[in-house]
Amino acid sequence: MAMLEIRNLHVSVGGEEILKGIDLAVDAGEVHAIMGPNGSGKSTLAKVLAGHDGYEVTQGEVLYEGEDLLELEPEERARKGVFLGFQYPVEIPGVANTYFLKAAVNAIRKHRGEGEIDAMEFLKHIREKMKLVKMDDALLKRPVNEGVSGGEKKRNEVFQMAVLEPKFAILDETDSGLDIDALRTVAEGVNVMRTPERGFLLITHYQRLLNYIQPDRVHVLLDGRVVKSGDKTLAEELEKSGYALFEDNAA
């Protein structure tokens, strides 16, 4: 069985159907990319998988390691290894990054029946991960996402992912707002984390991220439906011809 299996997923917001029957299966060790224009339902999919309560699932199911994911609270999903890299990371004034990450690490450890992490061990762990995303040491003491640029926030999302070491990571437009160097760093961070045990779902508007992260599968999302799936050449095709190519299929 696939690590994440989405079956006939229908999702509405305020009575309006956004996702109209998504079928998708991601195996451990795979990287899948979901591409689509604005308003196609990409971010809705990411948020539903993470457990945001602003969306109503009207049909279908999502299995994560064989378990009904939609039954779980957002924090339970996170503790079981589901990570969402936010499109718009949220500011938490006055809460230092280290403090925030430690709370998260300990919540996950507690769920696994492990004790709180030793302070020195924790520091060593996060220092190591900072190098991975070329992050400045000063960031650790700074409040979560406060007073930093959009690009820095995205880099911080990848840093958090590296620290929390999830089993399944969804990155929602992590590439948008990044300059080319930052994009490369973020991609390297993801590539280092690609292991046979971990699955990824990359949500992106542009093909350029996929120059740095080679996906196993690419899915095109249009108007709440996956209209085409293929290998990485599909992304290149999209880059050349645009989404118009698939619009007939969507209708």
Partner 1 sequence: MSASTKTIEELTRKGYEFGFVTDIEQESLPPGLNEDTVRFISAKKEEPEWLLEWRLEAFRNWLEMPLPNWAHVKYPPIDFQAISYFAAPKDQPKSLDEVDPKLLETYEKLGIPMHEREMLAGVQQRQVAVDAVFDSVSVGTTYKDKLAEKGIIFCSMSEAVREHPELVRKYLGTVVPKGDNFFAGLNSAVFSDGSFVYIPRGVRCPMELSTYFRMNAGHTGQFERTLIIAEEGAHVSYLEGCTAPMRDENQLHAAVVELVALDDAEIKYSTVQNWYPGDENGKGGIFNFVTKRGLCAGKRSKISWTQVETGSAITWKYPSCVLKGDDSVGEFYSVAVSRGHQQADTGTKMIHMGKNTRSTIIAKGISAGHGEQTYRGLVRVLPTANNARNYSQCDSMLIGDQCGAHTFPYIDAQHPGAQIEHEATTSRISEDQLFYCKQRGIGEEEAVSLIVNGFCRDVFKKLPMEFAVEAQKLLEVTLEDSVG
Residues that bind partner 1 (CB under 8 A): 50-53, 73-75, 77-79, 83-84, 86, 89-95, 99-101, 103-104, 107-108, 111, 143, 160, 164
CB atoms within 10 A of CB 56: 14
Helices (H) and strands (E) in the chain, counts: 8, 12
Task: Please state, in angstroms and as integers, the Cα–Cα distance from residue 99 to each residue in 116, 126, 152, 240, following that order.
Answer: 13, 12, 18, 45
Please, which residue, 97 or 207, has the CB nearer to partner 1? 97
184, β-bridge pairs: none
Nearest to 142 by CA among 177, 100, 88: 100
Tokens of 58: 């009207």
- DSSP code at position 13: E
- DSSP code at position 54: T
Please, which residue, 101 or 133, has the CB nearer to partner 1? 101
Please, which residue, 97 or 204, has the CB nearer to partner 1? 97
* In the complex, minimum distance from the CB of residue 51 to partner 1, in angstroms, rounded to a whole number: 7
* In the complex, minimum distance from the CB of residue 49 to partner 1, in angstroms, rounded to a whole number: 10
- DSSP code at position 105: H
* In the complex, minimum distance from the CB of residue 177 to partner 1, in angstroms, rounded to a whole number: 18
* In the complex, minimum distance from the CB of residue 155 to partner 1, in angstroms, rounded to a whole number: 16
Please, which residue, 146 or 236, has the CB nearer to partner 1? 146
Please, which residue, 10 or 111, has the CB nearer to partner 1? 111
* In the complex, minimum distance from the CB of residue 165 to partner 1, in angstroms, rounded to a whole number: 12
